[in-house]
Amino acid sequence: MRLVEQVQTGLTGLLDHPFRTFLTMLGIIFGVGAVIAMVSIGAGAEREALEELKKFGDSSIRISSVEIQGERLAEALKKQARGLRMTDVAFLASACPFIELAVPEKIDEYGFYVANTKPLVKIVGVGDGFLAASRFEVERGRFFTDEEQANAAMVAVLGAGVASEVFGLVEPVGQVVQIERVRFKVVGVMKPQGAGSGKLAIKRRDHDRDVYIPVKSSLQRLERWPVEDKDLYHEINSIWVEVKSGYDLLAARDRIAAMLKRRHSEVDDFEIQVPLEILQQSQKTQNLFNLVMALIAGISLLVGGIGIMNIMLASVNERTREIGVRRALGASKRDIVVQFLVEASLISILGGLIGIFAGVAISWLIALYTGWTTAIPLSSVLIAFFVSISVGIIFGSFPAAKASTLDPVKALRYE
Amino acid sequence: MIKTEQLQRHFKAGDVCVKAVDSLDINIGKGEFVAVMGPSGSGKSTLLYVLGAMDRPTGGQISINGRRLDQMDDQQCSDFRNRELGFVFQSFHLLPRMNLVRNVELPMLYAQIPAERRRARAEMMLRAVGLGERFVHFPAELSGGQCQRAAIARALVNSPALLLADEPTGNLDSRTGLEIIGIFQALNRQGMTIIMVTHDENMARHAGRIIRMRDGQIEKNETVSRPLLSALPEEIEKSLQEVFHAAG
């Protein structure tokens, strides 16, 4: 009997009991759907992490200040430690031959005034090389010149969100804004960056609500008064470091950590993050997540397979006489095996196909309602599909073998 | 055509050996119509299934058209059942979820005959047994006699030389039973060898020979000098002739 005819016969057999067939398929549908949906979440997270890494760069190191208070602060001050400072930036740039760029960043929540409005923004003082280190781009106007940086000029570049909120359709470049009591001239607007999702576990704020000014302007013109010790401890919030190509990033990280710790009198007042390393860790976590998901999906498919075997065994029992008739009419054992295997495989193939659609739909709904990035790799669809076919074949084998070994005469007389 | 020597089919039931067929020597020539009779448990159905390669003998030899059935493997037995013989059963054994054409097509499916030829041949066979208007009917929609005629069409569809019938009239009233016997006689007139197991003496009297069995052995082997004749509608007789001529 040809395969096409076996498939037709199998389909007819399944359609004789559509509801039972559907119920049998459910295990496979859930299994495959779960695999696709879970993989899509994992793949989406991985894709997002990679995109974030692109933003940070695969040669960057981020040194961030760690706030210390109370006794620890008193002890640090006793040790003459002064937190993360501009001198650290200059020191790293001169003492570390592997550093391409070291860019200071100072973040404050100064009052920001435009006309009669006071939008909530972060005032970010940044040093030379910020654009190269951050990989941000200017959309309109320009960034600060070296001269403006050196002279602590009163110029500002607005984040895209701030620019559109404050100025709407009016061109922001050339306008004047006020930070605390100082007036700054807007010289540029950044490209929209989008809010960070935090997939890399690196603190990323919404850069579109930043207002950039030269770091010297921030330090020299915008100091708050009065201030507490803890506010004075760190001069800057972070340093963006770009390592020259050819240098080992982790070794560079260790070297910087050792040097800074010595400069900071062994006070743990900073932390160093390497986005690439975090990505690798995140990938390890992702792999573990994928393994757990694969196990869950595997169990689901196993349950689905047992369901198929159960129904196929019931079907063999129910159709014992039919098997006898077919044998009497010339069906070989192989024909009977193929007939039942085709039926089991059809259940799993159809279940797999429906499961794929269900998985895609679930993934889409997750993305829609949670805002997570999801991605469905073709490989996961293909693997899920082939695994579901295999489940049908594996779990259909025993009932098929049982059907083929029935004594034809006894099968014919079966009541 | 059919020759058995010391044919045995013994079953083990616990410690007891049941000799369903015991040391049987039979010779049946080509074109014979033989009825096999005997009380329940005499081994007549077992004999029929052994002759039909459905059951394997436990001893002795059996050859049909020179081919040794006792030496065939499962695949060869399947091919033999498919191409060399046709089965007709007491309870018809049509598959209930298939219409008549698809039921009759079944043996051709296993003979790997292309769909178009299959369909045409199945329709021709159904017409030949007087079911030309019932192609798409399901077995549950037909009378017993019609079901048995469809089963005969199915048995003949691969043009076998031998027809084996196990109580073919057992589930039919006597009038319908005689119709079926009429078809058998018409087929036999076309040269088909028929072996029919029956309990009914009257039906058996339509065959050319009656083999009476008891306890797995032949009790009596008698030739019917003047077999009874069962009239068959002329058009069925004619169409059966046409089918046989078409099959060559």
For the domain that residue B131 is a member of, what is the CATH number? Answer: 3.40.50.300
Nearest CA among B31, B38, B37, B33 for reference residue B207: B33
Range with lowest mean pLDDT among A382-391, A394-403, B120-129, B159-168: A382-391
C-alpha to C-alpha distance for A43 and A290, rounded to whole angstroms? 9
- Specify if B24 maps to a domain: no
Confidence band of B244 (pLDDT split at 50, 70, 90): confident
pLDDT of A301 reads 84
pLDDT of A117 reads 86
pLDDT of A229 reads 65
- Which two three-digit tokens encode residue A51? 């995109």
Domain boundaries, given as residue ranges, for chain A: 3-52+280-413, 58-273
Question: What would the pLDDT profile of A344-377 be if each residue is shown by its tens digit?
Answer: 999 999 999 999 999 999 999 999 998 888 889 8
Nearest CA among B186, B157, B1 for reference residue B81: B157
- Specify if B242 maps to a domain: yes
- Judged by CB atoms closer than 8 Å, whether chains meet at B87 and A329 is answered as yes
C-alpha to C-alpha distance for A408 and A333, rounded to whole angstroms? 10
What is the rounded average pLDDT of the residues B218-240? 88
Q: How many CB pairs under 8 A join A and B?
A: 63
Please give the ipTM for the structure prediction. Answer: 0.94
Torsion of CA B47, B48, B54, B56, to 10 degrees: 20
Nearest CA among A371, A374, A344 for reference residue A36: A374
- Specify if B9 maps to a domain: no
- Specify if B22 maps to a domain: no
- Specify if B105 maps to a domain: yes
Give chain A's residues under pLDDT 50. 197-201
Conformation bin of residue B77: beta by default, left when phi > 0, alpha when psi is -120 to 50: alpha
pLDDT of A6 reads 83
pLDDT of A384 reads 85
| In the block, residue with structure tokens 């999801």 | A374
Question: What would the pLDDT profile of B5-31 be if each residue is shown by its tens digit?
Answer: 999 999 988 889 999 999 999 999 999
pLDDT of B248 reads 58
| Residues whose CB falls within 8 Å of the CB of residue A345, separated by 6 or more in sequence, listed in order | A10, A389, A392, A393, A396
A208 DSSP 8-state letter = G
Q: Which of residues 36-95 of B touch A (CB under 8 A)?
A: 49, 52, 54-55, 74-75, 78-79, 81-83, 87, 89, 93, 95
C-alpha to C-alpha distance for A99 and A92, rounded to whole angstroms? 8
- Specify if B116 maps to a domain: yes
- Specify if B87 maps to a domain: yes
Is the pLDDT confidence value at B132 over 60?
yes
pLDDT of A227 reads 64
Chain B hits for A409, Cβ within 8 Å: 49, 54-55
C-alpha to C-alpha distance for A174 and A187, rounded to whole angstroms? 6
Q: What range defines the domain where residue B219 resides?
A: 30-56+73-247
For B107, the closest of A2, A329, A332 (CB atoms) is: A329
**Helix H segments across A238-332?**
249-263, 275-318, 320-328
- Specify if B62 maps to a domain: no
When scoring B12, B93, B99, B156 by the number of chain A Cβ atoms within 10 A, the one with the most, hence best to mutate, is B93
Is the pLDDT confidence value at B236 over 80?
yes
| Residues whose CB falls within 8 Å of the CB of residue B191, separated by 6 or more in sequence, listed in order | B30, B31, B244
pLDDT of B157 reads 94
**Total tally of structural domains belonging to chain B:** 1
- Judged by CB atoms closer than 8 Å, whether chains meet at B82 and A330 is answered as yes
